[in-house]
Amino acid sequence: MTSKPSRWHELGPFTVFDVETTGMSPVNDRIVEIAAIRVDIDGIHSRFHSLVKPGIRIPDEVIRIHRITNEMVGKSPSFPNVGKDFMAFVQDSILVAHNGRFDLAFLQESLSRHGIALWNGRTMDSITIIRHAYPGLPSYSLQNLQRHFSLGTGDGQAHRAFTDVEWTLEIFGMSMQRLLDADKK
């Protein structure tokens, strides 16, 4: 008989990730920032972060959202380099993203565009887990969850990949632990 995990990360490893982009279309737009925190089954955290040179201009209305400028990404590595490093980082883990369909679509399209093997591992959308752990919240947007649960220090800037990853990891971990604890009762 195997014992049930006592801590959520024992079900992993998990890699929480987020991308910022030039727009909303994975086909027409490009990744400008990618960040991730990997949580191994022993609870050890590893971090990945890179700005990405998109090869197209970032529209002003998008810059106003994530505050990543064309100048900031001008000397950054292009996606083929970042994508290969990212895929090595996430290998053998479960990918987790908040509103995962968006982030995964951009990741897969970018990998395909550059001839890099697609992600074929497990994925989880943190929104689904959070809804199960905390039903009935008025909104499950990351910014509303950050305020509701007082996540992080408040220093981070929403719509920057690493801040969003930190907030997602915090609420995802709380939710997974809550569900795991409820399952033991």
| pLDDT tens, residue by residue, 26-61 | 999 999 999 999 999 999 999 999 999 999 999 999
Computed over every residue of the chain, the mean pLDDT equals 93
Q: Which helix (H) or strand (E) holds 154?
A: none
Catalytic residue set: 159
Residue 63 located in a structural domain: yes
Task: Provide the pLDDT for residue 34.
Answer: 98
> Which two structure tokens, joined as six digits, stand for 123?
């994925």
- Quick check: 147 pLDDT over 80? yes
Helix crossing, 79-90 with 100-113: angle to 10°? 120
Residue 120 located in a structural domain: yes
Residue 54 located in a structural domain: yes
Task: Provide the pLDDT for residue 1.
Answer: 42
Task: Provide the pLDDT for residue 3.
Answer: 61
Domain range for residue 125? 9-184
Residue 2 located in a structural domain: no
Which of 121, 115, 134 is CA-nearest to residue 179?
134
- Whole-model pTM? 0.93
Residue 160 pLDDT grade (very low, low, confident, very high; cuts 50, 70, 90): confident
Residue 115 located in a structural domain: yes
Residue 138 located in a structural domain: yes
Residue 159 pLDDT grade (very low, low, confident, very high; cuts 50, 70, 90): low
- For 19, residues 6+ apart whose C-beta sits below 8 A from its C-beta are 31, 33, 34, 103, 106, 107, 161
Residue 141 located in a structural domain: yes
| CA pair distance 78, 49, nearest whole angstrom | 13
Task: Provide the pLDDT for residue 100.
Answer: 93
- What is the count of structural domains for the chain? 1
Q: Which CATH number covers residue 176?
A: 3.30.420.10
Task: Provide the pLDDT for residue 155.
Answer: 53
Residue 149 located in a structural domain: yes
Give pLDDT tens digits for 70-108. Answer: 999 999 999 999 999 999 999 999 999 999 999 999 999
In the predicted model, what is the mean pLDDT of residues 174-184? 92
Cα-to-chain-centroid distance, residue 57: 23
